[in-house]
Amino acid sequence: MTEPAPYDFADLALIKRIIPHRYPFLLIDKVRDIVPNKGAVGIKNVTANEPHFQGHFPDEPVMPGVTIVEAMAQTSAVVVGISTNSIDKELGTYFMAIDKCKFRRKVVPGDVLEMHVNVLRGGGKVWKFEGRATVNGELAAQAEFTAMMDLKG
């Protein structure tokens, strides 16, 4: 494996250089406290303008649980991209498993969602993570998830 790039923070521009997601499915705004091969904290500023709130639910907007898990996965993909020095390369990221997933509180417009992710196993094509999503320090969701990382070309 190549030496990790020296980033401990990823703004939106750097995130887009690492993962392929774009609006309306780019679910993280920045990633901080990045420690290659260990973990990071992703930040999502939840706003009422997001398309999923039109149908989930119009009179009581709630961020879908699957998008919270996806935000944790996108945070993890940034960690992998930095850990493997895959910036500006095509890094395909594919879910393989989601385990021990639980939702503890609603996430609504105005919340700042923090995704705390830790690498449980990594270094090859298959990586496993533990994630916790919080709002103001209160647990909103948690899961373990496994993904295959495929560097194209």
Which residue numbers are catalytic?
56
Task: Show Cβ contacts of residue 119 under 8 Å, excluding neighbours closer than 6 positions.
Answer: 37, 38, 39, 76, 79, 83, 127, 128, 129
CA nearest 119: which of 82, 80, 87? 80
Pairing of strands 112-121, 126-135: antiparallel
**Cα separation, 40 vs 42, whole angstroms:** 7
CA nearest 126: which of 150, 152, 91, 98? 150
φ, ψ of residue 76 in degrees (nearest 5): -65, -40
